[in-house]
Amino acid sequence: MRDFSIRFAINIIALFAVIYIAGGVSADSWQSIVAAGLVLGLLNAFLKPIILLLTLPLNIVSLGLFTLIVNGFLFYMTSKFVKGFNIVDFWSAFWAALLFSAISFFLNMLLLPKISIRSRPDDAYYSEEPKYDDVIDVEGEVDEAKEDNGEKDE
């Protein structure tokens, strides 16, 4: 629930930045920006996967660049659903969606880092030494017991 709240706040901050920076995008009040953030999040969560699945061949041919068109379309649809959140035309929505994606990407990286580096999947599982005597020695150490008996590894 905490991650959802942080992502929602990131969307709202990114929308404020897009309205301030991008031309052709405006909002009447902060309430319409909050509503637009909620609607955009819901459209991205539920409608975007369906649209991407239906346009998969076009997306493959364009090497994924058609996803930018889908993002612009969803941004434009948000303006149709939320009163007070206005976008002039589709290309304004396209550039605003691109800017929105970049801003929210960097804010997500700063506020929700998900990178964890572990050397082993389960440290408790690997904590014991192997119990077998017939383990191949890959470090190339000479076994002293074999040298004492006159045996040599060749």
Residue with tokens 């649209």: 51
DSSP output for 112-128:
-------SSS-TTTTSS
Q: Tell me how far apart the alpha carbons of residues 120 and 98 are, in angstroms, rounded to a whole number.
A: 38
Query: What pLDDT digit, counting tens, does each position of 98-154 carry?
Result: 999 999 999 988 888 776 555 555 555 555 665 666 656 566 555 565 555 555 555
Which among 36, 104, 105, 46 is positioned nearest to 75, based on CA atoms?
36
Q: Tell me how far apart the alpha carbons of residues 146 and 154 are, in angstroms, rounded to a whole number.
A: 12
Confidence of residue 6 (pLDDT cuts 50, 70, 90): confident
Query: What pLDDT digit, counting tens, does each position of 70-102 carry?
Result: 999 999 999 999 999 999 999 999 999 999 999
Burial code (b: 16+ CB inside 10 Å, e: under 16) for 81-95 equals ebeebbbeeeebbbb
SS (H, E, C) 41-53: HHHHHHHHHHHHH
Strand partners, 85: 27
Q: Tell me how far apart the alpha carbons of residues 86 and 41 are, in angstroms, rounded to a whole number.
A: 17
CA angle, 125 then 133 then 124, to 5°: 10
| Residue ranges per structural domain of the chain | 2-111
